A and B are shown apart, each in its own frame.
Chain A
Amino acid sequence: MSKETKVADESGVDKGLVAMFLKMSPEERLRANDDAFRTILELRDAYRRQKADGRRPE
């Protein structure tokens, strides 16, 4: 999202993101968190693998 379209107040809270999340049902919100959770694990794994590969002697 570009800086021009992001609606945040002086506290830094993204009001648009809050509004978007409030339009979802509780089940959809849980699914969104589960998706984020899985994505974070996948990215952490990828990062760990990349670091491990970098340490291996050629």
Chain B
Amino acid sequence: MPTGGRKPTGAGLSEVLVGLLEAGVDFILVGGLAAVIQGAPVTTMDVDIVHSQSPENIARLLAFLKSVEAVHRRFDDKLIELKEEDLSGKGHVLLTTGIGAIDVLAVIEGGRSYEDLLEHTVDIDFRGHTLRVLDLKTLIELKKTSTDPKDKQRLLVLRETLRQLEEKYGRGEDKEDSEDE
């Protein structure tokens, strides 16, 4: 039986993504793994997603999370199971599952929801599915406002990644609007 403080198996975060995609969940990949996919050499230990909060999608997401024994991630071993209202609220739901940690976010910086972020995504073909990923330029914009020292260090890596991408492919839609350092 899972506990809130349990450690993940060595399954790998790709399996979490595959599970979400196979379950037909509408989500946008954000955070460290979104940066990894777009070429930033960083390492992350969880999957961060912003999900569509339509009732049908919440039902699909809840069914998937229950299938991988998701429970709230905690310091102690207290077991708090996931409920539907956790996914329909406006907060961040930090979970541990049998295949890896996943953060389910209703909104991210600036109160931006799934619908708000859709126009800032890139589609990646991934194991026969289309994975929607928050683009590098928007990830950088979000990190700019963060006060987390880890984010500040990561911001430098993201900027260098975007710079090299622009050098290689030209300054397209991924161009960072302002150089306000």
Asked whether any CB of chain A lies closer than 8 Å to the CB of B118, the reply is no
How far apart sit A42 and B12, CA to CA, in the bound complex (Å)? Answer: 12
Tally B residues with Cβ within 8 Å of A. Answer: 29
What residues of chain B lie closer than 8 Å to A30, measured between beta carbons?
13-14, 17, 33, 36-37, 126
How far apart sit A32 and B36, CA to CA, in the bound complex (Å)? Answer: 9
A33 in contact with B126 given A13-B160, A41-B7 (CB within 8 Å): no
Asked whether any CB of chain A lies closer than 8 Å to the CB of B8, the reply is yes
Interface size class of A (residues with CB under 8 A): 20 to 34
A22 in contact with B13 given A12-B156, A13-B156, A33-B44 (CB within 8 Å): no
How far apart sit A36 and B87, CA to CA, in the bound complex (Å)? Answer: 30
Which residues of A are at the interface with B, using a C-beta cutoff of 8 A? 9, 11-15, 17-22, 24, 26-27, 29-34, 36-38, 40-42
A34 in contact with B13 given A18-B164, A29-B39 (CB within 8 Å): yes
A42 touching B10, Cβ below 8 Å: yes
Asked whether any CB of chain A lies closer than 8 Å to the CB of B147, the reply is no
B33 touching A22, Cβ below 8 Å: no
What residues of chain B lie closer than 8 Å to A14, measured between beta carbons?
41
Asked whether any CB of chain A lies closer than 8 Å to the CB of B138, the reply is no
What residues of chain A lie closer than 8 Å to B165, measured between beta carbons?
22
